[in-house]
Amino acid sequence: MSNAFKTSLEDLGWGEPFKSAFAARGVNGELPGRVVEEQRGTYGVRTEAGEWLVTISGRMRHAAVRRVDFPTVGDWVAIKVRPEEKKATLQAILPRKSKLSRKAPGKETDEQLIAANLDIVFVVTSLNKDFNTRRLERYLAMVRESGAAPVVLLSKADVAPDPGFTLRAVQAAAAGVPVITVSAVTGVGLEALEPFLKRGKTVAIVGSSGVGKSTLINRLLGSPRQAVQDVREGDDRGRHTTTFRRLIPLPQGGLLIDTPGMRELQLWDVQGVVDTFADVLALIETCRFRDCRHHTDAGCAVQSAIQEGRLPADRYAHYLKLGKESDDLAVRRQTEAQTQANEKIKKARAAYKRESRE
């Protein structure tokens, strides 16, 4: 057990619906706690009795089918403590109110959790040569499908040649989302983050390697606790600094989850695309014909908006790309689900035949 930081459950975000879910279990001897760290199959879970090194119970491990059935940082869980061993066993994950996830890297069709029970996600992109509007749209789609509220942070304002130009591009791509220009070096814009960092609120920081996430966290913490690395010369792209996730208490009262930079970011659900490209969908609704293909059709509202400069052509192309990715993944998920269902039926039939012969 570790007392890495002293805090009440309420400071960690404890409240509804987690209280009711834990009470409904009605199991004596269990404690509620929050997963504050995850490393190689073991978890640091913070309770009112301190922080415990926790492993998953055999029953829970046996019942798990997908990655999403295992805990992640930010989860509220029920554990049984073994004080004499200074260890504990995780019995159940309480229902999540939000979950930040992506499709697992590679050919595997599975959901990879990044963090759970978030209130806000800071999407950090730097004002240098590595800025990419299309990548920002992908991050925003991921956050919007999580159930948390996105906030865009434009970092490294102290070295930006023309922050105003980039700011306008971001505001166009992230309509309706707060956009804040910050510098962890000079402190510009940091005061604007305070309303998002109140007691009991959980914020995750996402962004590519080298955008300044760790430097920003160190500034918010008031001490250099997160390792940082210089970006590469030539393209301003960064290298991985954060290698695992941990829930960090902030002096402002909130809680922060840093995440490793992502080289591959594929969405898990189509809803994020719908929310991120609401402007495109609104244009599609105004087309003259229901079966409009939005390419060269006469009177197409989408093509008219592109020609008039109201909709960037590359934004529309990216909407089509992400939509196709989501559709393809949905088909693969449906096929895989059917395969798993068939396997369960086969196992049940085999078990029935064995019992019948006995």
Query: What tens digit of pLDDT does each residue of 283-315 get?
Result: 888 887 677 777 766 678 888 888 888 888 888
- The Cα–Cα gap between 308 and 304 comes to 6
In angstroms, how far apart are the furthest CA atoms of the chain? 79
Question: Counting Cβ atoms within 10 Å, is residue 126 exposed (0-12), middle (13-18) or buried (19+)?
Answer: buried
- The Cα–Cα gap between 49 and 32 comes to 10
- The Cα–Cα gap between 83 and 131 comes to 50
pLDDT of residue 54: 93
Q: Which residue has the tokens 């002293």?
A: 6
Instruction: Name the residue among 190, 188, 123 with its Cα closest to residue 160.
Output: 188
The larger pLDDT score, comparing residue 264 to residue 127, is at 127
Mean pLDDT of 90-112: 83
* Position 109 confidence tier, pLDDT thresholds 50, 70, 90: low
In 248-357, alpha helices (H): 271-276, 278-285, 301-307, 313-357
Beta bridge mates, 179: 152
* Position 2 confidence tier, pLDDT thresholds 50, 70, 90: very low
Mean model confidence pLDDT for the chain: 82
At residue 29, the 3 state secondary structure works out as coil
- This prediction has a pTM of 0.79
Whether residue 314 contacts residue 283, with contact meaning beta carbons closer than 8 Å, is answered with no
- The Cα–Cα gap between 138 and 273 comes to 8
pLDDT of residue 224: 62
CA dist 55 → 36, 39, 210 (Å): 14, 11, 33
Mean pLDDT of 141-153: 91
- Segment 257-270, tens digit of pLDDT: 988 766 556 676 77
The larger pLDDT score, comparing residue 225 to residue 249, is at 249
Mean pLDDT of 321-348: 75
pLDDT of residue 232: 37
- Segment 50-85, tens digit of pLDDT: 899 999 988 888 888 788 889 999 999 999 998 888
Mean pLDDT of 230-252: 60
The larger pLDDT score, comparing residue 33 to residue 85, is at 33
Helices (H) and strands (E) in the chain, counts: 9, 13
Angle at 149 between CA 148 and CA 152, to 5 degrees: 130
66-97 in b/e burial notation, b at 16+ Cβ within 10 A? eebebbbbbbbbbbebeeeeeebbbbbbbebb
* Position 94 confidence tier, pLDDT thresholds 50, 70, 90: very high
pLDDT of residue 338: 72
* Position 346 confidence tier, pLDDT thresholds 50, 70, 90: confident
Mean pLDDT of 146-159: 85
Confidence check: pLDDT of 243 > 80: no
Residues of the chain with pLDDT > 70: what percent? 82
* Position 239 confidence tier, pLDDT thresholds 50, 70, 90: very low
- The Cα–Cα gap between 182 and 188 comes to 5
Mean pLDDT of 25-48: 90
pLDDT of residue 297: 67
- Segment 173-186, tens digit of pLDDT: 888 899 998 888 88
* Position 240 confidence tier, pLDDT thresholds 50, 70, 90: very low
Mean pLDDT of 146-168: 80
Mean pLDDT of 119-140: 85
CA dist 350 → 17, 62, 265, 337, 355 (Å): 41, 20, 40, 20, 9
pLDDT of residue 172: 80
pLDDT of residue 210: 74
